[in-house]
Chain A
Amino acid sequence: MKKRSTFLLSVLVFGFAFLYVPILSLIFYSFNSSRLATIWGGFSVKWYGELFENDLIIDAALLSFRIAAVSATFSVILGVLAGLALSRFGRFRGRLAFTGMITAPLVMPEVITGLSLLLLFVSMEDLVGWPNGRGVTTITIAHITFSMAYVAVIVQSALSGMEENLEEAAMDLGGKPLRVLWDITLPLLTPAMLAGWLLSFTMSLDDLVIASFVSGPGSSTLPMVIFSKVKLGVTPDINALATLIILAVALGVICAGLIMRHQARQKYRL
């Protein structure tokens, strides 16, 4: 027994080192004043200054944030509807096909999704004259389509973990189904919706392949700018950008974890 647990412990240590050494090395070298990774030239924040003077990166970041916020909001709306249908409507006709359509985007290789959406937009423009060219709108639509699947799965699992007795009690007291949905089910879903929104937001912010397919001239998102820069090699200002993103995400995840723990404790106290 003892022997097995030392084995597990060493795997855990090795595994987490594997996961975190690259991230920590990015943070460490973003403060290196030398341009070369192997040489420590002393502590410096000059790459951060350089980053904020790079208009190309700042503009792309702002564009990406805008697209991420809009697409996350729409994904939550569509994903909640889909999640409700999957977990509260019992067995309806075409349920299997609907489930398939929801789960397929989760594993679909990005090159296929990107190519097929681009061809759709081109064909639609040919047929109905919309969308007029490609850019922010088409990227947003593409991001909504793959993010809503994630939100639907989160909402579905939240709903299946939630007991239906609150909803049933409200129905017994004479609440019409829609009223119960609005007053009981949706408020209970707030944490799932928040998690879904954040996940959609980060995935939109992170997407390179699909955005490359469906974007047009003049609408380069942040990952597209980063990719075209790092293809040529390691650059210190991208290290600085990565550090900022990683710190923001870490803070967000830790806050979310603390809030969830706090809520769970309160629940048990009740």
Chain B
Amino acid sequence: MSRDVTNHKLSTLSSGSLVKLAGDVIGRLIQRNWKRLVLAVPLVWLLIFFIVPFVIVLKISLAEGMIARPPFTPLFEWAEDLSFTISITFESFRFLVTDDLYYSSYLNSLLLAGKSTIICLLIGYPMAYGIARSRSDIRGILLLMVVLPFWTSFLLRIYAWMGLLNKNGIINGALLSMGIIDEPLNMMFTEGAIYVGIVYSYLPFMILPLYATMEKLDESLNEAAADLGGKPFTVFYTVTLPLTLPGIVAGSLLVFIPATGEYVIPALLGNYDTLMIGRVLFDEFFSNRDWPVASAVAVALLAFLVVPIMMYQHFQAKDGERS
């Protein structure tokens, strides 16, 4: 009996100390490896929900479409004799190359996004410069006014343009009542409306990085250049422009890359003749339910954007090092 008691005591003692020991070990493991844990959690999340999805898109773009759920053939198959077959088809990509629709929509999207980026730059650059050169007490308010539309719903801001550009919308109403035009202008569902939509929604993305580089500009450099006899344009071209180049590149990429794949703007403001690849992909997926072709469209779009995306990352990384 006494032996039982000691045994019992021993076991409680040991289980108690075991827990403590385990706690110590875990605590020390965390103390020693916490950095790895901090890194691992977001890393694993991004691997599963950002990297793996791209691999799957690539995989499905190489599969064959079929009427089933999910609507494509498997790439890998284990036969009954455990032999492994891989069936890859480039049919979807061949389809992309042969069908004129895709070629022209890629080209059109890149052109539209490129031209909109230039317009954004032409409006955004002097705006950012004006804000950076304004009195310090109103600078904060002006900056807040640039950021504010960015926080309000993107979809609703595009919708606002529908009300403005409509055939019996606000702009036409104003022009008609002022007698400038005799009959309403056709502004909705045109390529021009897409430009307005893209420039309008992406302008803050251009202004903010530009402002960030201009804020750091040293005014005395301009003055020195002017004192040395530089004309205003020469000073701008040789001093200000090169110094603000990082902002120009960052802002342009922030506009160009997402604008290329834009869906909402062409869907609400554009017509069916103006093909944009984001809309083609969306329709291919939801209306035609052709998953392999939609995936191939996405892979090709990504291939077009890899270079600008890597440029953007390069600039981001350099920026991070500088600060």
A binding-site residues for B, Cβ under 8 Å:
4-5, 7-9, 11-12, 14-16, 18-23, 25-26, 29, 36-38, 78-79, 81-82, 84-87, 89, 92, 96, 98-105, 107-112, 115-117, 119-120, 122-123, 126, 141-142, 144-145, 148, 152, 156-157, 160-161, 176-178, 181, 202, 205-206, 208-209, 212-213, 223, 226-227, 230-231, 233-234, 238-239, 241-242, 245-246, 249-250, 252-254, 257, 261
Contact = CB atoms under 8 A, between A and B. Distances in A.
Nearest to B291: A119
A38 B140 contact: no
Contact of A15 (B53, B127, B258): B127
A104 B317 CA distance: 12
B169 A37 contact: yes
Interface in B287-316: 291, 294-295, 298, 301-302, 305, 308-309, 312-313, 316
B97 interface: no
B152 A245 contact: yes
Contact of B35 (A16, A89, A100, A119): A89
Contacts of A18: 123, 200, 203
Contacts of A107: 253-254, 257-258, 308-309, 312
Contacts of B142: 12, 16
Given A18-B123, A246-B156, A109 B261 contact: yes
Interface stretch (B5-13, B16-24, B143-151): B143-151
B267 interface: yes
Given A103-B312, A246-B156, 18 more contacts: A8-B129, A11-B127, A15-B127, A22-B200, A26-B163, A37-B168, A38-B168, A81-B42, A107-B258, A109-B258, A110-B263, A112-B57, A112-B298, A112-B301, A212-B282, A238-B159, A239-B163, A245-B153
B317 A99 contact: yes
B156 A226 contact: yes
Nearest to A14: B123
Interface string B264-294: 1001100000000010011001100001001
Interface of B: 30-31, 34-35, 38-39, 41-43, 45-54, 56-57, 60, 70, 123-124, 126-127, 129-131, 133-134, 140, 142, 144-149, 151-157, 159-164, 166, 168-170, 172-173, 200, 203-204, 232, 253-254, 257-258, 260-264, 267-268, 278, 281-282, 285-286, 291, 294-295, 298, 301-302, 305, 308-309, 312-313, 316-317, 320, 323
